[in-house]
Amino acid sequence: MTGKPRVRIGRGYAVHFNISHGQKNVQLISRFTNPLQRIHRQLVAISVNEPGYDLIHTFNAIPLLTSCPYIVTFESGLPRLTSTELDRLFLRPLTKRLLKPQCRTIIAISKYAVRQMRIQHSDSAECGALLRKLEVVYPGVNNLALCSKPRQGETLKLLFCGNDFFRKGGPALVAAHDRLTKDGSKIETTVVSNLSWSIDDNVAPVDTAYVESEFKKLSQEGITHRKNITNSEVRDLMRSSDYLVLPTLHDTFGYVTLEAMASGTPVIATDTCVMPEIIDHEQSGFLLPFENDTQAHKWVHISEKFAKAKIEAYRSAINDLTTSLTTTLRGPANVRTEYEAMSARALNTVESQFGREVARQKLETIYAAALHI
């Protein structure tokens, strides 16, 4: 093999955080993440890639119709099948493909992803073989701040970033803002979101009236709603805010938490899914208690099928998160003397566990083994 091996990767924010870290022992070739998704969004589980590479590294998609060795990085289950019908049709054949030597390594972006995959294949005789191919490589982000920061001024400045306003618990922050303001607290909340919502969402409420009423609450005093702003503007907001608040009901990762912590801004987030792997409670941020299942550590009502029960479960979860968020903001999150140390620990967490250099070195080792270099 002459020159550096050519590794075909994708494009997009997920690839930026999970695959493309400037690996030095290969040549990374960026192409469309998964051309088949142009045909139908449910084809996320598979990919057909052009020839001419020494290794393929995909995100969530299992390459088909190629003899090239490959690596798959995934965020929840793998194969990533989006419906029960697809699961019945493709789980077995795609799992068998993952077990072949052509699949060099399976990379989970978190321990939460590993738990999801273990549950997905718990009834399969091949579960052990799949898990033996597994490695965890956390997403990587650059440190944006050179140093920690103190809390300045009397006003508590909060930031929410997330287009999926309802899935990420936006209404809980808005309600907590209202409670704190009525109590006389000085608080400013910025919501960065395009307010995406679909009646088919498996987390958000299937109640148009409720959704519209929550949107109206964004106009209350002290809340600024912004959308379609640049990444540079978001980073400036992160650095100038006291906390990023993410009272999410479900997230396969939540990359925004890393970006905030890399800005020296501690995070207040729900104790669910991957968040306990990112945030050290009362050290680099705060975790809000939540009703999780015992296996995957995700919301117990996420698979609720009945519309009325789903709406009630969502509203109950938001009410509980509002209460715990309000309590946190009134108490430990408002202790100014501890803030700069928390900011420093947030930066240290990013550098030691979620830095791009950490991810790059791990991926280089995986590539070397896959390509025998």
Going by C-alpha positions, the residue among 148, 143, 223, 157 that lies closest to residue 186 is 157
70 forms beta bridges with: 56, 103
| pLDDT(365) > 70 | yes
| pLDDT(58) > 70 | yes
Looking only at the bridges linking them, the beta strands covering 70-74 and 103-108 are: parallel
CA distance 200 to 256: 24
Mean pLDDT of 243-265: 96
pTM: 0.94
Check: CB of residue 255 under 8 Å from CB of residue 265.
no
Point out the least confidently predicted range of 102-106, 167-171, 197-201, 314-318. 197-201
Say how far residue 70 (Cα) sits from the centre of its chain: 24
CA distance 347 to 240: 15
Give the whole-number percent of the chain exceeding pLDDT 70.
Answer: 97
| pLDDT(198) > 90 | no
Check: CB of residue 106 under 8 Å from CB of residue 133.
yes
Q: What is the pLDDT of residues 292-309, one digit of tens each?
A: 999 999 999 988 877 788
Q: 33 pLDDT band (50/70/90 cuts)?
A: confident
Domain boundary assignment for the chain? 6-140+355-371, 156-353
| pLDDT(41) > 80 | no
What are the backbone angles phi and psi of residue 285, rounded to the nearest 5°?
A: 170, -160
Q: What is the pLDDT of residues 256-278, one digit of tens each?
A: 999 999 999 999 999 999 999 99
DSSP single-letter state for residue 124: -
| pLDDT(211) > 70 | yes
Average pLDDT, the chain: 93
Q: 38 pLDDT band (50/70/90 cuts)?
A: low
| pLDDT(239) > 70 | yes
Q: What is the pLDDT of residue 306?
A: 77
Could you tell me how many residues make up the chain?
373
Check: CB of residue 264 under 8 Å from CB of residue 239.
yes
Give CATH for domain 156-353. Answer: 3.40.50.2000
| pLDDT(9) > 60 | yes
CA distance 61 to 59: 6
Q: What is the pLDDT of residue 144?
A: 73
Q: What is the pLDDT of residue 69?
A: 98
Cα torsion through 242, 248, 254, 256, rounded to 10:
-30
Q: What is the pLDDT of residue 309?
A: 87
Q: 138 pLDDT band (50/70/90 cuts)?
A: very high
| pLDDT(1) > 60 | no
Q: What is the pLDDT of residue 37?
A: 67
Side-chain-side CA neighbours of residue 76 (13 Å): 14
344 vs 33, higher pLDDT: 344
Q: What is the pLDDT of residues 73-102, one digit of tens each?
A: 999 999 998 777 777 788 899 999 999 999
